Structures are given as C-alpha cells and as structure tokens.
Amino acid sequence: MQIYQQKAEILRTEKFTGDIYRFSLKAPDIAAEARPGQFVMVRTGEGMDPLLRRPFSVHQVAEGGLVQILFKIVGRGTQLLSRMQSGKYLDVLGPLGQGFTNGENNQHFLVGGGIGIAPLLFLAKQLLKRNEPSAIKVLLGARTEDEIGILAEDFGSMGLEVLSATEDGSLGQKGLVTDLLVPINETRATVYGCGPYPMLRVVAGICHTKGWGCQVSLETIMACGLAACLGCTVLRSDLKGYVHVCKDGPVFNADEVAWL
Amino acid sequence: MAVELPDLKINIGALRLNNPVMTASGTFGYGKEFASLVNLHRLGAIIVKGISLLPRPGNPPPRLAETACGMLNAIGLENVGLEKFLSDKLPFLLGIDTPLIVNILGDTLEDYQQLAARLDEEEKVAALEVNISCPNVKHGGVAFGTDPDMAYNVTKGVRQHFSRPVIVKLSPNVTDIVMIAGAVEEAGADAVSLINTVLGMAIDIEFCRPKLANIFGGLSGPAIKPIALRMVWQVADAVAIPVIGIGGISTPEDAVEFMLAGASAVQVGTANFINPKATEEIIQGLETYLTEKNMASVQELIGRARRT
C-alpha cells in the first residue's frame, strides 16, 4: 500500500459546538487511496513541542482531492491544530492502517460514541454503494447533543435512519449508545464500532451474545503510525502477545483483541 | 565550469558509506516500513530493529508517553527473533543497495555470540551494532552496558564470531561513558555509537500513576541532544575508533554539530517518526552546508570544533 507525506492546504475549517472541528484538506494522493477506517498522522505545528504527530481517522474524502478530519480538542496538539486557519498547510501522512471491511450480512449497524463517530461517515458512504439505505442504521451516542448534533444531520441527509442516545437526554434517548443496540432483533448483522474503549467493550459483548459480526476501530497513543516504533500495542485475545493499532488496525475484528 | 559537489563518503573501519547518515535501530522498522516515503538507496546505512535469538513480545501497554520536545518509550525490545528476521525481513533488504547494519541484543554472552556467528554467514549484513543496554539475566539483571568488564566481554565475544565491523552502542545511563567506551575499544570494537535513550519517567496526574506500564522508559528526541553531544565530544576525545553520534538529530544542522564534536557519522532516530523523510533531508542539507562552507569533503567536519 502506498503511503504519502503531503503538505496539505487547509481549504476550510468548521467549528461545531462541543470543541469539535472539521478541517477540509487538499491531499489528492491520500484522498485517492484512503479507505474507510484508515487514518492519517498530522503535525500540529512547525516546532518540536508537541513533538509527535497526532492520528486522526479519515472522516470523509470528497471530490477535488479533499480529505476531511473531524477532531475534538483534548490536549495541546488538538488545541494548536484548532487555531490553524484556512490557507495554511498541514504536514499529513497517510493513508495508514487497516480499515473496515464490508460485512457479508444484510444488516449493517454503525455505532459511534462521541468523536469516535468521525470515520463512520466515510464508511456509510461506501456501504451505500452496495446496499439499500434501509440496510444501514446509524447509532450515535454522546454526553450531550452538542457533540453529535451536526453529525446526526449528516447521516440523516444521506437517507439513513439515525438513532441517538445522550447521557443528559438532550438528543434522542437518555442513556448510552449501547442501550440502543441491545433491543435490536436481527439474526445476521455486522456492527462497525468506533468510540471509547469501555463503549467498544460493551458493543463487542453484545455482538458476541447475538452472534453478529463486529469490527471495532481502536485508539491508542501512537508515535509513528508506520509500525516502526511498536508503541501502539493492544493485548491479543489469546493474551499471549500484542497487536499494533497502526499496522494490524486501527480496525480489528472484535474477537482479535482482549477486552479487559 | 560545473561546481563539484562535496564528497559525502565516510569510512567506519572497513565499512564504506556513501554518506554519514544512518537510521537508528528501533526507529525505522526493518526498512520496508519506510519504502514508500524514503529512497532507501540514498541512505548511508540502514540499521534495523534490534534482533534477539528468540522473538520477544515486548512490554505491556502503555509503552509511550510524549514529553517536552521528546518522548519516552518502553517497548521492551519487541522483535521477530533471528529466524524470522532471516526468512521474512532480510529478503527485502537484499534488494536495497545500501549497507545493512543489524542491531543485536541478548540476555547472555552466549546469545550475543550465537547471533554474531549466524549473521556472519549473511554477506548482506555489512556490520553489527551491539546493543549492550539490556540486562544480563545471568548476572542478576545488571545491564552489560553499565559495567566495563561485562561490556568488554560482550564486545570480545561478538568480535570473535563476526568477521566484519562491530559497532557497540553505548548507554548514557552510566557514571562514566568514557570508561565503557575505552573498554569496548580495547575488546576490539571497530566503532562506538552513542547515545541510547536516557532513562526517565512521566506521571499521569489525572489517574495518579506512571504514564508507562513499565514505570521507567527511555527518553529520546530533541530534548536529549545536548546530553548526547556532550558525550560524543567526551568519547571522541578518549578513543581512537570512529564515533557515531545519536541523540535527537532531526535536522542537517544537528548532524553538523555532532560531526564537529567528533562524530564520523550520525544516526537519525525519533525524527523518523515525526518526519519520515528526515534522513534524506539531512543528507541533502549536509551537502548544501558543505558547499556553502567551501568544504570538499564531509570528513573535514569531523572533530573540527575541537581544533579551534
């Protein structure tokens, strides 16, 4: 697989509620190659502090060689990034890692928690090429409406059914996104999950019980994204060794990794 | 008349390099990981991830923590082991027209000797770099690299089983690095490379626990450059064999500094993570620097700051 290091112009920045930003970057080589679930590594500034690139899943690719990333301010790196203006250039490396694979089952559930929703828009677009909109459902969860309101609309405009859950009840059902998954009765389905580890652990458990396919996108601290530093390890399900999120993932079959 | 480009060639003992820029072990995988980003044929040498006799799973996560201008790692020497290196990784490297240096590590003197003997049979392996920072299990876990006698014995053991150049990579986590350098020189090392990472730690104040599962880790990146430069200066003063500088080298200017301090070559480590093209940019920048300074050869840089 070809990996590119590009100086990508920021064509557009959007600020949403809940400290969430969406950047549209001109990165034609990466846009042409990227698959849903893959990620890019972005330098957040010119200097040496913060030192490391930050990983972001590809939120969407669009005509004209556009790559979009969606991020929330969680630390200094994302803080610096959020202050970047359109017209500036970002050093972007990608596309990296293994993305989602199309499940064989006829029902697809996209389950996202908080900023973990980012890669699911790209995935939904790809699934729509081979499936009717009625075969795809989107389940979104967050603390408050602020964090997912705009994204719920994006999925809705694609003609997909969106179910939401918020911890404060400001959008959809009051509770967790996993509460939305439990009552669903399908014999054959594939779940694509992305979000915080505790959420994914519950998603994996539900899928295991129901006998559904389950792919999860994991997040870890990462230095290179190229399988060189071997820092982004996750314990294998056999507990006998490790997989690397950057190379073996970030998308894994839920039964490949240990749920501790 | 065309202006002659400066000569970047350098010798490390019997090892002839087209330029003095190598990849530091553990920061460049087995080369293939960077193939679509870097012209591997352009590099001075490729040093691959450290190899042990048997595969090692490495440490539990978290293995990384970012610090000011640097990073901590506690990978735990995860690697595929000698046999898998030979069967799965070496074939790709055979096709790369750049000297290959294999970094080796072991728990016992015998481990190092076996690795050296087996790798001696592979002609593509131009040199060995001996990592003596790991604990010696037979001697109660004392690292080979912190005791001059043990450093001497490991170097001698590898020397006796490997016919091409042997480089010994030194740890900065010692009272007197010059003494260790002297011991490995006496044991027959062809060169020393320094420094390995500096022992450090970081604590998560939200969860009130160390950020690394291993508690301690090795600090690397621009933060350690002044320490590395000082140690290169000291060691270059004390030994007659070539010194290879490592520690936070990210730009051509950094590489020039290390060579002015006495290094004959440099290794680029953590910078590969941030800028995968760092090695190529440093080679290009060295050429530009020499041209601007009207120097015909990169060898003119070696130790130049010591003579003024």
* C-alpha A211, offset from chain centre: 23
Q: Which residues pair with A165 in a beta bridge?
A: A141, A173
Contact criterion met (CB below 8 Å) for B76 and B63: yes
The partner residues of A252 in beta bridges, in order of sequence, read: A216
- Predicted ipTM of the assembly: 0.93
Q: What is the pLDDT tens value at each position of chain B, 308 positions in all?
A: 456 899 999 999 999 999 999 999 999 999 999 999 999 999 999 999 999 999 999 999 999 999 999 999 999 999 999 999 999 999 999 999 999 999 999 999 999 999 999 999 999 999 999 999 876 666 655 678 899 999 999 999 999 999 999 999 999 999 999 999 999 999 999 999 999 999 999 999 999 999 999 999 999 999 999 999 999 999 999 999 999 999 999 999 999 999 999 999 999 999 999 999 999 999 999 999 999 999 999 999 999 999 86
How far apart (Å, rounded) are the C-alpha atoms in residues B120 and B127? 9
H helices of chain B, in order, are 82-84, 90-94, 109-120, 148-161, 177-186, 225-238, 252-260, 271-274, 278-292
Q: For testing the chain B interface, which of A30, A230, A247 should be mutated: the one with the most B CBs within 10 Å?
A: A230
Instruction: Respond yes or no on whether the N-terminal peptide bond of residue A50 is cis (omega within 30° of 0).
Output: yes
**Cα–Cα distance measured from residue A85 to residue A29, given in angstroms and rounded to the nearest whole number:** 22
What DSSP string runs through B225-248?
Answer: HHHHHHHHHHHHHH-SS-EEEESS
Check residue B101 and report its DSSP letter.
E
Q: What is the mean pLDDT of residues A22-47?
A: 96
Handedness of CA B291, B297, B303, B308 (dihedral sign): negative
Q: How far apart are CA B212 and CA A80, in angstroms?
A: 25
Domains of chain B, start order: 11-249+265-275 (3.20.20.70)
Mutation for testing the A interface, residue in B32, B66, B72, B73 having most A CBs under 10 Å: B66
Q: Assess whether the previous peptide bond of B148 is cis (omega < 30° from 0).
A: no
A chain contacts of residue B27, beta-carbon cutoff 8 Å:
224, 228-229
CB within 8 Å of A155: residues ≥ 6 apart: A120, A121, A124, A138, A140, A162
User: What is the C-alpha to C-alpha distance for residues A217 and A39, in angstroms, rounded to an integer?
Assistant: 10
- The residue annotated as part of the active site, out of B48, B134, B194, B198, is B134
Please indicate if any CB of chain A lies within 8 Å of the CB of B226: no
Mutate to test the interface with A, among B273, B277, B279 (most CBs of A within 10 A): B273
Which stretches of chain A sit within 8 Å of chain B by CB? 1-5, 43, 48-53, 91, 93, 220-224, 226-235, 240-242
Are B69 and A227 inside 8 Å of each other by CB? no
Structural domains of chain A ordered from first start: 4-96 (2.40.30.10), 108-217 (3.40.50.80)
**B42: closest CA among B19, B14, B65, B9?**
B19
Residue B134 falls in the annotated catalytic set: yes
d(CA B58, CA A64): 43
User: From A240, which residue of chain B is nearest by alpha-carbon distance?
Assistant: B57
> Residue A17: its pLDDT value, please?
84
Of B27, B36, B250, the CB nearest to A229: B27
Instruction: From chain A, pick out residues whose CB is under 8 angstroms from the CB of B270.
Output: 51, 223
pLDDT in tens, B87-102: 999 999 999 999 999 9
B224 touches A: beta carbon within 8 Å = no
